[in-house]
Homo-oligomer: A and B are copies of this chain.
Amino acid sequence: MLIKRRTEPFEDCWALPGGFVGIAETTDAAARRELEEETGAKDLFLEQLYTFSTVDRDPRGRVISVAYFALVKPNSIQIRVGDEAKEVGWFGARDLPELAFDHASIVSTALQRLVGKVRYQPIGFELLPQKFTLSHLQKIYEVILGRDLDKRNFRRAVLKMGILDALDEKESGVPHRPSQLFRFDQAEYERLVQRGFSFEL
């Protein structure tokens, strides 16, 4: 999700939402605040990505940025265009317009992190609604990893972990056999991790 900048430098250029850290707030809090101010998005999964400190990355002077990435469940947020932005829009991470500052390199770092992480941490669920089908989940993995996965093997592998609850509910309104819905069981996942379980796909 990018914003089109309303102010110089890089006016009218697409950029990541962001801004300055307050004297009495953590960078986590600042990231949340800026994201909400500029796009309306709130209550997201947010993780610190990396700190970018190239000396000339901002033409206004020396700026060091602590970058965060957010994962968004579809339909879970209400987007609104904040004061700083002319526009807010979604773009494919592998198909971006030209970005302000060094934001292209921030996005590419984020993508790498996501790819590196998705197989070892249950973050795929942060990109799905609470109730989802195994096909949706598989699709998330296929998009992030950039390759197709075998349906039967994928299902066997995720179900074996025992961190998904099958709900008494199916999809409806689809023009094909309706799919079983599942929920990610966070509490059970944490219990298993305590006992040495490690997520792996």
Interface residues, chain A, with chain B CB atoms under 8 Å away: 21, 23-28, 48, 50-51, 53-55, 62, 64, 66
Contacts and interface: CB of A to CB of B under 8 A. Distances in A.
B27 A53 contact: yes
A63 to B, nearest CB: 11
Contact of A66 (B21, B23, B53, B54): B53
Most buried by B among A53, A55, A66: A53
A51 B25 contact: no
A26 B48 contact: no
A24 B63 CA distance: 10
A26 to B, nearest CB: 5
Contacts of A62: 23-24
A55 B21 CA distance: 11
Contact of A28 (B26, B28, B48, B53): B53
Contacts of A48: 50-51
Contact of A53 (B26, B50, B53, B54): B26
Nearest to A24: B55
A119 to B, nearest CB: 10
